[in-house]
Amino acid sequence: QTAVADAPAPDKEYTFAIIKPDAVEAGHADAIFAKLAEAGFRVAAQNEMTLSREQAEAFYGEHKDKPFFENLVTFMTSGPIKVLVLSAPDAIKAWRELIGPTNTEIARADKPESLRALFGTDQTANALHGSDSSSSAMREINFFFDGWAYDNMPAETNFAVITPE
Ligand code: IDP
């Protein structure tokens, strides 16, 4: 279940990551953990689960009108995922950089060292998720870890208006 291995510190930032079903199914999780550790990220909390349809639809609610939404929800519920809270200096931006472009094919062409290039499958099944902003990180961490971010993210970050779903 949830393991907290890392105390909060003001020089750190937290972000939220998912190892998606394609990467878990392909057995890439250990290689991904090795890569993220090598890049200076620590795993502050983690859990393995399989998303329900309702959870996947809520998590990706901002995309509900997009043409790829159904495929995305079907993919994200297709098998176990690993949900992670990662910490590092500048974690949100640094993790997005490390995972690379959304589309695996573009990642392979433009950023061959990125984790999506190395471990992704296609446009939808792209191995990894990363929060795109601090408000997303807050929402997403609390979505999966039930209040964790409120207790652990630096107090000077003003998230008062963000309500977890
Ligand atoms: P991000 O994960 O890089 O932030 P978003 O645009 O937020 O990208 O899209 C969320 C997820 O939806 C992507 O990671 C990918 O799995 C899927 N997705 C995004 N755009 C497309 C698309 O054009 N076709 C198919 N799937 C897509």
pLDDT at 123 over 50: yes
ipTM over 0.85: yes
Q: Beta partners for 18?
A: 83, 129
pLDDT at 160 over 90: no
What pLDDT score was predicted for residue 11?
62
User: What proportion of the chain, given as a percentage, has pLDDT over 90?
Assistant: 76
pLDDT at 130 over 80: yes
What pLDDT score was predicted for residue 157?
52
> Which of the listed residues 16, 76, 124 should we mutate to test ligand 1's pocket, taking the one with most ligand atoms within 8 A of CB?
124
The finding on whether 142 has its CB within 6 A of some atom of ligand 1 is no
**Which ligand 1 atom lies nearest to the CA of residue 96?**
3
Q: Domains plus CATH for the chain?
A: 13-152 (3.30.70.141)
Per-residue confidence band for 159, with pLDDT thresholds at 50, 70 and 90: very low
The finding on whether 157 has its CB within 6 A of some atom of ligand 1 is no
Per-residue confidence band for 148, with pLDDT thresholds at 50, 70 and 90: confident
> Which of the listed residues 105, 126, 129 should we mutate to test ligand 1's pocket, taking the one with most ligand atoms within 8 A of CB?
126
Taking the model in full, what pTM does it have? 0.89
- Tell me the per-residue pLDDT of 1-53, one tens digit each, with 9 for 90 and over: 444 444 444 468 899 999 999 999 999 999 999 999 999 999 999 999 999 99
pLDDT at 126 over 80: yes
